[in-house]
Amino acid sequence: MGPPDPQTQKPILIIGAGVSGLLLAQYLRKTGSQVPVQVFERDADLATRGLGWGLTLHWSLPALRSLLPEDLVARLPEAYVDRAAVDEGRPSTFPFYDLSTGELKAKTPTASSHEKYHIPVRLMGVKLDCTPEEIEPLRKLDPFFLQGAASQNDSFVYFSVLDAPSNTPEGNGGKYSCQMVVSWPIRDGFFNQTAPIVFPETSAGGIALIKKFADTWAEPFRSLAHSIPSDTDVKYLELYDWPPPKGLRTTGHVALVGDALHPMAMYRGEGANHAIVDVLDLAELVIPHLLRGTESAHPTAVDLRAALDRYEDRVVGRARPAVLASRQASLDAHQWARINDKSPLLSRRAMNLAFDESDMM
């Protein structure tokens, strides 16, 4: 029998146009599949809810390249935050600093409840434009991003370059587009306050709080924080995660991918990487059952369910340790005594992580 009629073929529905959803759609385009694909997204465009947080991609890059059509692989350099730095061969070592003293503490090597867990950390972030002179002291430390915690008070900062003026002819007015993320623990006594510090009610209040934290930091971290304009928009975020339970099973013909399956804190920078490899695993284990060319070869419900079971086992085995390690990293980031080379905050980033759940704080 010939291939199924695309007009009558049941479509593949992708809910959410995030990293994993769009990557899966592009992979299906790459296969040349005749199976209809529909992508559903709640937001009208990228700016509906703001541009969000910058993502770090590292060990998932080979998977990303293998899933994307060649025309998009060729365009990946357009997404580099600083193409000139890449051309110069300046890699990032993801350095971690003591904000109180400015001392380099470490360089990170490259390369089952149904309720979400509320991580006792509050986080806020800003996007700022920096002149080359303003950002140069930090770019001397690392050309792309760095993180640090204050040994005096356990405040934390993550700084990253989002775009460099040399990337486009317009040059963003000669300025670097950057993000700064500041977080603190939800606990009594932090920053000499009797009760936990809550989110300020206004962006101006958020900027004032960032600068108050920065008063205790060393240079160049202090000056960068104090350069944030008082009218800058501040985004606030409560942190939650959900480690998928071992033996997790969905029902029917639904596959969970990315944040829908394993939302994690960003303190190891691995969420987007796992979402990409989820799509790779789905493409290897499940999608072939949906793309068979003849009706006689269409998968039975039993075949498809078995494929989904294998997919879920693989992803849970890979992502559950990552969620828990990221949670521990977020806790360690706000307890200076726990920051050492054994902490997930500083340990090597890897696709398949050995993390002992009994080590959770």
Percentage of the chain lying above the pLDDT 90 cut: 60
Peptide bond into 77 cis (omega under 30): no
Percentage of the chain lying above the pLDDT 70 cut: 90
Residue 218 reports pLDDT greater than 80: yes
Name the token pair of 123. Answer: 């986080």
Average pLDDT over residues 203-223: 97
What is the set of domains in the chain, with CATH numbers? 12-80+244-359 (3.50.50), 87-240 (3.30.9)
Q: Are 66 and 39 in contact (CB under 8 A)?
A: no
Residues 6+ apart with CB under 8 A from 44: none
Q: Are 62 and 39 in contact (CB under 8 A)?
A: no
Task: Output the 3-class SS for the chain.
Answer: CCCCCCCCCCCEEEECCCHHHHHHHHHHHHHCCCCCEEEECCCCCCCCCCCCCCCCCCCCHHHHHHHCCHHHHCCHHHHCCCHHHHHCCCCCCCEEEECCCCCEEEECCCCCCCCCEEEEEEEEEEEEEECHHHHHHHHCCCCCEEEEECCCCCCEEEEEEEECHHHCCCHHHHCEEEEEEEEEECCCCHHHCCCCCCCCCCHHHHHHHHHHHHCCCCCCHHHHHHCCCCCCCEEEEEEEECCCCCCCCCCCCCCCCHHHCCCCCCCCCCHHHHHHHHHHHHHHHCHHHHCCCCHHHCCCHHHHHHHHHHHHHHHHHHHHHHHHHHHHHHHHCCCHHHCCCCCCCCCCCCCCCCCCHHHCC
Phi, psi of 348 (to 5 degrees): -60, 140
Average pLDDT over residues 308-330: 97
Give the range among 62-71, 107-116, 238-247, 265-274 with minimum mean pLDDT.
Answer: 107-116
Give the range among 88-102, 167-181, 201-215 with minimum mean pLDDT.
Answer: 88-102
| pLDDT band per the 50, 70, 90 thresholds, residue 219 | very high
| pLDDT band per the 50, 70, 90 thresholds, residue 62 | confident
Residue 107 reports pLDDT greater than 50: yes
Name the token pair of 53. Answer: 């947080």
Average pLDDT over residues 229-242: 95
Give the range among 7-21, 49-63, 155-169, 260-274 with minimum mean pLDDT.
Answer: 49-63
Phi, psi of 129 (to 5 degrees): -105, 125
pLDDT of residue 4: 55
pLDDT of residue 48: 63
Average pLDDT over residues 133-139: 94
pLDDT of residue 158: 96
pLDDT of residue 78: 83
Alpha carbon distance, N-terminus to C-terminus of the chain = 59
Residue 60 reports pLDDT greater than 90: no
pLDDT of residue 7: 59
CA atoms within 13 A on the CB side of 197: 22
Average pLDDT over residues 310-330: 97
pLDDT of residue 1: 44
| pLDDT band per the 50, 70, 90 thresholds, residue 111 | very low
Residue 113 reports pLDDT greater than 50: no
pLDDT of residue 326: 96
Task: Residue 178: name the closest of 165, 194, 195, 159 by CA.
Answer: 159
Task: Residue 123: name the closest of 188, 179, 189 by CA.
Answer: 179
Residue 334 reports pLDDT greater than 90: yes
What pTM did the predictor assign? Answer: 0.77
Mean of pLDDT over the chain: 88
Residue 86 reports pLDDT greater than 80: no
201/207 Cα distance (integer angstroms): 11
Phi, psi of 220 (to 5 degrees): -90, 5
Name the token pair of 167. Answer: 């990337």
pLDDT of residue 112: 40
Average pLDDT over residues 158-183: 91
